[in-house]
């Protein structure tokens, strides 16, 4: 099966084309807030680079992360799925980081969120499984996680608040979706938030 993977939930923007989990073509850039400008050109580049006219499946990061980035990725994934007539499914940025960097051991994943908070979740390995639910909390509250290894853009803040452990600053990368167990790669393609968006619709 050929999968187009889209990752826009953080400051990184990445796209990968994979055959049965093995990357055929890949693009990854740290764009900050520039996902809307870069995503579609990156998809085109990766499709050409992989020599594929249409994938069998589209997999997109549902979050948590940037509200705008998440929605850019989801909108593109849904539009492409409709145009190609293929299934669209989602995955979590935190699970992707755990699958890519946690190896077979236990780890916590912490991504920088809004208002000085962290998106935090704990994972165990071999096979990968979530130990607790996603939380959006302050570094001081997040410091209660016991895992020594902490991955993600908020890892240093968590380890500093706790005063111990090993932090690895990472951003999700679409080419790692091949490492996700099937149970983590079949979420509904809709935003995964741990708190309500800051923007309030006008009435």
Q: How many CB atoms lie within 10 A of CB 1?
A: 9
> 3-state DSSP call for residue 121?
strand
Residue 195: predicted pLDDT? 52
> For residue 200, is it within any domain?
no
* Domain housing 115: 94-168
> Along the 203 residues of the chain, how does pLDDT read in single tens digits?
999 999 999 999 999 999 999 999 999 999 988 899 999 999 999 999 999 999 999 999 999 998 899 999 999 999 999 999 999 999 999 999 999 987 778 999 999 988 889 999 999 988 899 999 999 999 999 999 999 999 999 999 999 999 999 999 999 999 999 999 999 999 999 998 755 444 444 44
CATH of the domain at 56: 3.30.420.40
> For residue 69, is it within any domain?
yes
Q: Which residues face 4 on adjacent strands? A: 17, 58
Cα-flanking dihedrals φ and ψ of residue 166, to 5°?
A: -125, 125
CA distance 75 to 92: 16
Residue 115: predicted pLDDT? 82
> For residue 133, is it within any domain?
yes
pTM above 0.85, yes or no: yes
Residue 200: predicted pLDDT? 44
Report the number of distinct structural domains present in the chain. 2
> For residue 191, is it within any domain?
no
């Amino acid at each position: 099966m050929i999968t187009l993977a889209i990752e826009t939930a953080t400051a990184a923007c990445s796209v990968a084309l994979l055959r049965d989990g093995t990357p055929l073509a890949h693009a990854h850039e740290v764009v900050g807030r520039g996902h809307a400008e870069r995503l579609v050109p990156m998809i085109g580049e990766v499709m050409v680079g992989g020599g594929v006219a249409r994938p069998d499946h589209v997999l997109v990061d549902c979050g948590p992360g940037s509200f705008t980035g998440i929605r850019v990725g989801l909108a593109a994934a849904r539009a492409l799925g409709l145009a190609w007539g293929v299934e669209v499914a989602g995955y979590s940025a935190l699970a992707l980081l755990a699958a890519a960097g946690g190896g077979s051991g236990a780890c916590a994943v912490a991504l920088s969120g809004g208002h000085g908070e962290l998106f935090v979740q704990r994972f165990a390995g071999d096979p990968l499984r979530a130990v607790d639910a996603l939380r959006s909390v302050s570094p001081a509250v997040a410091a209660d996680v016991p895992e020594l290894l902490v991955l993600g853009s908020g890892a240093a803040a968590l380890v500093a608040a706790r005063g111990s452990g090993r932090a690895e600053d990472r951003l999700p990368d679409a080419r790692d979706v091949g490492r996700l167990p099937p149970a983590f790669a079949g979420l509904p393609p809709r935003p995964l938030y741990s708190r309500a968006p800051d923007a309030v619709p006008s009435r």
